[in-house]
Amino acid sequence: MDLTGKVVVVTGGAEGIGRALSERFAKEGARAVVVADQNGNGAAEVADRIRGRSARCDVGCEEDIVELVRSTETDIGPIDLFCSNAGIGDFRGDPDDVTSSPNEDWARGWAVNVMAHVYAARALLPQMTERGGGYFLNTISAAGLLNQVGSAVYGVTKHAAVGFAENLAITHADRGIRVSILCPQAVDTAMLRAGGRGAQHVDGVLTSEEVAETVIGGLADERFLILPHPQVAEYVRRKGSDYDRWIGGMIRFRRRLLPGEKAADA
């Protein structure tokens, strides 16, 4: 995909990866970049810097996504690329008990990390199909391909997001719909800095700008899987080739994260 002259929407655009994507898309010559975020003031600040538009949007609310699509297409023009980037990871619960997160956290995680992608596709597929094509870039996480030690809600919802994107790509390819998923490991964002016990054990931390650079190449090639951390591809291969060995490795990794649990887990 060549971004020159395109209309792009980025959710979660007030900070982190979303901010970097918005800034980079503008630099690449997009005709308009709509920066959407639940933090409306933050979205407006980013939009002002790149001469774009801003919108307040809670991606876990389908009505907000519908209105974001409607207002963009009415006021600016057809959306060429929708970046469903917003996500959350601040879930409660005991990291030593996968059942401990409250139902409200499961519901919110499902709404933001999974259903937001569904809502965006539902709102845009009819128009994109009628126009002969369109592009979805869904920010997920390497946790959607591997998993997340210490947060079942995060790991499960990110796995589901990958599954939906696969179905979107498979089902609608013949109608001109292209899909990419962005699956970074550690990125220097507020979410990582709030990551608690696992944050110090991450395997290579990238800046949001480095992630955005990888996205530009992935969109140019129209690759389904965009991996800013290339080592993730090897981890996925190991997981697929020997699942039991991979589970064993993850158990050992968890023990390194939780050294006080070694005796109980041995």
d(CA 149, CA 98): 10
Query: Is residue 180 classed as helix, strand or coil in its secondary structure?
Result: strand
Burial of residue 113 (CB within 10 Å: 0-12, 13-18, 19+) is buried
Query: Is residue 225 classed as helix, strand or coil in its secondary structure?
Result: strand
d(CA 167, CA 181): 12
Cβ(10)–Cβ(21) below 8 Å: yes
Known active-site residue 243:
no
CA distances from 188 to 195, 204, 240 (A): 11, 10, 28
Count CB-CB contacts under 10 A for residue 169: 16
Q: Tell me the CB-side half-sphere exposure of residue 156, using CA atoms within 13 A.
A: 15
d(CA 261, CA 217): 42
The residues, ordered by sequence, that sit 6+ positions from 68 with a Cβ below 8 Å of its Cβ are 9, 11, 34, 36, 55, 57, 123
- Enter the tokens of residue 78: 């057809």
Beta strand segments in 59-150, E: 81-84, 134-139
- Enter the tokens of residue 183: 């699956």
Catalytic residue among 135, 154, 235, 243: 154
Q: Which residues are catalytic?
A: 154
